[in-house]
Amino acid sequence: MNRYLFVMLVVIATSLMGSSFAIGKIGLSYVSPLLLVGIRFTMAGFIMALLVRNKRLPSSYQHWAKLFIVGLFQTTGVMGCIFVSMRTIPSGETSILTFANPLLVVILGTVFLGLKYRMYQWLGVVTGMAGVFVTLGYHLQLTTGTWLGMVAALSWAIATILVKKWGSQFDTWVMTAYQMLFGGLLLLLLSVVMESPRFVINITSLWVVLYLAIMGSIVQFATWYYLLSHGDPGKTSACLFLAPFFGVLSGYLIHNETIHRYVYLGGLCICIGIFLVNWTTVGMKYSNLRKKEGEAKWV
């Protein structure tokens, strides 16, 4: 892929990821949190389901159940916690906590999948976790919002492990469409059960919903999966550290949020940790590739 095209698409994808936090917080002034994300992902999932209707769909109830479980963690768990948390903490802080999920993937992958990681990757995990501690203000007096931000990161990590285990059974776009649709429908149900649904219909609220559904979901996923399929997945994943940067930046520009210096320091540590985890993966793949090439030459 052309280098300039790669950079442009990375900026588009990560800026959409990060800015969705601040845009979503605008919507919370008019729509209750669970209802907002429920409408967002039900709409996005339904549109994508129409687009992929001619692709290979799951052929058994077990496969549909797996898509439902992925949607439960990836959409319902992650997005539900994110939008409820933004009622009590800044959107920038929520984005930093949520995008610590790659660090948790390393831990869960080791425990449940038996994956092996290098020392530098574990150093990345330690650095990232230290960053989370710093982001919380060097103390453990956690508010509801910070707990929800951390649960969102854990839910995302669980979803990543499930996709790694089950993803080969599905077409990527079909899995993306239906996990969003199932997760969105479940969020709508939770909105009825757990909150008093509220939707003030005006130009701003409708604009927010359409932006989050189309730009923040469909365009974001399409761009990100294009990058993963046309470039090195390790190098591409390392670019995720840009998303919390755009989250903090958009929170400052849109909401004039006051971000303490320790939040920037903690965010930097998290970004370094995520980069180490992904960068060493790339190095390992390259090393293994060169090793195989050497063995092929001797043969």
What residues pair up with 199 in beta bridges, in sequence order? 31
Tokens in use for 30?
Answer: 């008019």
One digit per residue, pLDDT tens: the chain, 299 residues?
A: 677 888 898 889 889 988 998 999 999 999 999 999 999 999 999 999 999 999 999 989 999 999 999 999 999 999 999 999 988 888 777 877 887 777 787 788 888 777 777 888 888 888 877 877 776 665 555 678 888 988 998 998 898 888 888 888 988 889 989 999 999 999 999 999 999 999 999 999 999 999 999 999 999 888 887 886 676 655 666 677 677 778 878 888 888 877 677 777 877 887 788 778 766 544 444 444 444 444 333 33
pLDDT of residue 12: 92
pLDDT, residue 107, reads 82
C-alpha 212: how far from chain center: 14
Q: What string of DSSP letters covers 118-162?
A: -HHHHHHHHHHHHHHHHHTTSS----HHHHHHHHHHHHHHHHHHH
Beta bridge mates, 36: none
Instruction: Write down the residue that tokens 């776009």 correspond to.
Output: 173
Residues of the domain holding 16: 3-298
Asked if residues 265 and 132 have their Cβ atoms less than 8 Å apart, the reply is no
Q: Which residues, 6+ apart, have CB-to-CB distance to 207 below 8 Å?
A: none
Interior CA angle at 147 toward 131 and 270, to 5°?
15
Q: Which residues of 222-231 are buried (b: 16+ CB within 10 A; e: fewer)?
A: ebbeebeeeb
Q: How many domains would you assign to the chain?
A: 1
Q: Is the pTM of this model over 0.95?
A: no
User: Helix (H, G, I), strand (E, B), or coil: what is residue 31?
Assistant: strand
